[in-house]
């Protein structure tokens, strides 16, 4: 009995300190097929969910600039690169594997929409991802946003974009406001309108600390056993 109690205590200590990955996406085993090189193909990308492993994702687009041309969806323009890509001409390399996700000249708000995550029982939620902003001029209507459950929690505007361009940066965002929720939906949104205005995202992960529910039950069992011994 004494040996069992010691084992439980050691296990509880290790579990409490642990941070777990709830969901992640590296874009490395997705087909690059949903990447479009002609905007007429975005129709096949919209609503497309990942064919690879990890956190599912799709893509949506909104005419935030009032172009009225239907954006990539109707093929009124062409030649953009949107979606999972292995193109390294700007980034040199991806931060995981050989692929990432590219936003190129999207002429509206292009949204990389991740599937909802069940964060029940988790605290200390964080979102981590790598971002590469291509070096070029950005204008006041260009931006990069992270949206969680419909609320924008992070934004980069013109000067932020220009000031952090040219190398991979790791973005870590506190999602503590969403701790324990059964549905946490993250979207990464880019809005640009020039062929050199490129954003790349890679190595996305949501982490948190699991509540030690099972450990607590084991501990309770130990407590009951101790009381029995005392009685
Ligand atoms: Ca990758
Ligand atoms: Ca375009
Ligand atoms: Ca520009
Ligand atoms: Ca622009």
Answer for the pair 23, 205: CB distance below 8 angstroms, yes or no: yes
pLDDT (0 to 100) of residue 138: 98
Starting from the CA of residue 162, give the closest ligand: 3
Two structure tokens written together for 29: 């085993």
Listed in sequence order, the residues at least 6 apart from 161 whose beta carbon sits closer than 8 Å to its beta carbon are: 133, 138, 142, 143, 144
Starting from the CA of residue 95, give the closest ligand: 1
Starting from the CA of residue 78, give the closest ligand: 2
Given a cut of 80, whether residue 192 has pLDDT beyond it is: yes
Could you state, in order of their start, the residue ranges of all structural domains in the chain? 2-230
Highest mean pLDDT among 17-26, 30-39, 60-69: 17-26
DSSP string, 156-170: E-HHHHHHTTTSEEE
Two structure tokens written together for 69: 């041309």
How many angstroms is it from 112 CA to the middle of ligand 1? 15
How many angstroms is it from 142 CA to the middle of ligand 2? 13
pLDDT per position as a tens digit, 44-64: 555 555 667 789 888 778 889
Mean pLDDT for 151-180 is 98
How many angstroms is it from 93 CA to the middle of ligand 1? 9
How many angstroms is it from 35 CA to the middle of ligand 2? 14
Starting from the CA of residue 30, give the closest ligand: 1
How many angstroms is it from 39 CA to the middle of ligand 3? 20
Distance CA 40, CA 124 (A): 42
Highest mean pLDDT among 33-47, 66-80, 207-221: 207-221
Q: What is the CATH number of domain 2-230?
A: 2.60.120.260
Q: What is the pTM of this model?
A: 0.81
CA-nearest of 129, 115, 101, 134 to 35 is 101
What is the number of residues in the chain? 231
Tokens 């790791």 correspond to what residue?
170
Q: Where residue 7 falls among pLDDT bands split at 50, 70, 90?
A: very low
Starting from the CA of residue 105, give the closest ligand: 2
Mean pLDDT for 58-85 is 71
How many angstroms is it from 63 CA to the middle of ligand 2? 12
Distance CA 44, CA 53 (A): 20
Residues near ion ligand 2 (CB < 5 Å) are 77, 80, 105, 107
How many angstroms is it from 154 CA to the middle of ligand 4? 19
pLDDT (0 to 100) of residue 217: 53
Identify the burial level of 46 via C-beta atoms within 10 angstroms of its C-beta, where 0-12 means exposed, 13-18 middle and 19 or more buried. Answer: middle
What is the greatest pairwise CA distance in the chain? 81
| Alpha helix ranges (H) inside the chain | 2-17, 42-45, 158-163, 213-230
pLDDT greater at residue 162 or residue 34: 162
Query: CA geometry: angle at 13 spanning 205 and 184, to 5°?
Result: 25
Q: Where residue 83 falls among pLDDT bands split at 50, 70, 90?
A: confident
């Amino acid at each position: 009995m004494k040996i069992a109690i010691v084992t439980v205590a050691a296990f509880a200590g290790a579990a409490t300190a642990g941070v777990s990955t709830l969901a992640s996406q590296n874009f490395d085993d997705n087909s690059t097929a949903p990447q479009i090189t002609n905007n007429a193909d975005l129709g096949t990308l919209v609503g497309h969910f990942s064919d690879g492993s990890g956190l599912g994702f799709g893509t949506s687009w909104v005419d935030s600039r009032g172009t009225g041309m239907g954006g990539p969806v109707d093929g009124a323009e062409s030649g953009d690169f949107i979606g999972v890509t292995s193109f390294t001409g700007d980034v040199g390399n991806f931060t995981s594997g050989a692929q990432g996700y590219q936003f190129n000249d999207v002429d509206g708000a292009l949204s990389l929409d991740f599937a909802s995550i069940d964060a029940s029982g988790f605290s200390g939620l964080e979102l981590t991802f790598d971002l590469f902003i291509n070096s070029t001029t950005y204008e006041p209507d260009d931006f990069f946003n992270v949206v969680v459950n419909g609320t924008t929690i992070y934004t980069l505007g013109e000067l932020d974009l220009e000031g952090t361009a040219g190398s991979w940066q790791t973005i870590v965002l506190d999602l503590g406001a969403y701790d324990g929720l059964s549905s946490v939906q993250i979207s990464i949104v880019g809005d640009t309108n020039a062929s050199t205005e490129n954003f790349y995202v890679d190595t996305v992960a949501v982490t948190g600390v699991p509540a030690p529910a099972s450990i607590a039950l084991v501990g309770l069992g130990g407590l009951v056993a101790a009381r029995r011994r005392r009685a």
